[in-house]
A and B are shown apart, each in its own frame.
Chain A
Amino acid sequence: MDEYEDDEFDGPVKKFMFVNRKAPYGTVYALEGLEVVLIAAAFDQDVSMVFADDGVFQIKKDQETSGINMKNFSPTFRALEGYDVEKVYAEKESLEARGLSEDDLVIPVEVLSSSELAELMDTQEVVITF
């Protein structure tokens, strides 16, 4: 994950939005998606992250994964700030439907409604969904 951190890139900066919609375990999308976010940040892009649908479970506190023999990668989200990824959003409706609030999450997020997220998404140049 750190191997391309030293990439030098002097090109243009674009607005990248990563939309995380899947649960952290069960499929590999969340884990491998996070790797792309860190690379985009290492390329000094204007990165936003969105957690919606079951994707909100990715940043749930107190994940205990030993029973399924998977690495708990939720601590990696706390490294995002060190990569200057500070625009992190969670969809209000998704949190509510799952009985979650901001207090249940491993990182601070801005909670936006579905329609607010749609507006924000409209301002992005590259949207990648995992």
Chain B
Amino acid sequence: MKLGILVNEGPFTHQASDSAYQFTKAALEKGHEIVRVFFYHDGVNNANKLSEPQSDDRNLVALWSELAQEHGVELTVCVAAATRRGIKDELLAAGFQISGLGQLVEAGIVGDRLVTFGD
């Protein structure tokens, strides 16, 4: 199945991006295709390479980057949501890119399912 993933929360206040990461990883392991992971609202904070969780905490930004590297998953951050939150190209962790909301709509169109994680 072709899946689009929408992440609407940042990595620390809500569990949504953890759940999205676990879901995406499990889907890939089951042989599903991920059209892209799209980060919106505070979800854009998942892309911030300056994020430094404490050493006994999981580092979700790094985990997303690993997922992109290992599986070629496209990680797309909404430009409008990112810009107002100060997430710019120079802050992006490996594997993330900034693009428009059209990429979210396109994921809905070409995917068999669009799965949302957030409030």
Interfacial residues, chain A to chain B (CB-CB below 8 A): 1, 3-4, 7, 9, 11-12, 14, 16, 27-29, 32, 35-36, 39-40, 42-43, 45, 125-126, 128-129
Contact = CB atoms under 8 A, between A and B. Distances in A.
B116 A43 contact: no
16 contacts: A1-B80, A4-B101, A9-B102, A9-B106, A11-B110, A27-B119, A29-B8, A29-B119, A32-B40, A35-B101, A39-B102, A40-B105, A43-B109, A45-B105, A126-B109, A128-B114
Interface of B: 6, 8, 40-42, 80-81, 100-102, 104-106, 108-110, 114, 116, 119
A12 B6 CA distance: 20
A32 B81 contact: yes
Identify whether the interface residues of B are mostly helix, strand, loop, or mixed.
Answer: helix
Contact of B105 (A32, A36, A125): A36
A126 B108 contact: yes
A1 B83 CA distance: 13
